[in-house]
Amino acid sequence: MHNKILVVLEVPSIEKKYNVFLPINKKVSNIIILLTKAVSELTSGGYISRGNEGLYNKMSGIQYDRDVYLKDSDLTNGSTVILI
């Protein structure tokens, strides 16, 4: 599991939290697409992607650059991210 990290994903629009493994060799833009699809499936369509979601660090409030690879970000196992 050296190529994935376990993070807590918060989705405020549906008031849910998920523990998810994220691949570190993907760009944040691809991670956002994967997360929006997964959350939509987990909620049986209760979450609908707007197509312009961002991924934020819960502690700092900073939005992750969509063109950065996850391995080059500050995310580590146990980090909490927010999908807005």
Q: What is the mean pLDDT of residues 74-78?
A: 96
Residue ranges of E strands in the chain: 4-11, 16-23, 55-57, 80-83
Domain that holds residue 53: 4-83
pLDDT in tens, 6-36: 999 999 999 999 999 999 999 999 999 999 9
Model confidence band, residue 1 (pLDDT cutoffs 50, 70, 90):
low
Q: Could you tell me the CATH number of the domain that includes residue 33?
A: 3.10.20.90
The tally of domains found in the chain comes to: 1
How far is Cα 24 from Cα 55, in angstroms, rounded to an integer? 15
Structure token pair of residue 70: 């996850």
DSSP structural state of residue 30? H
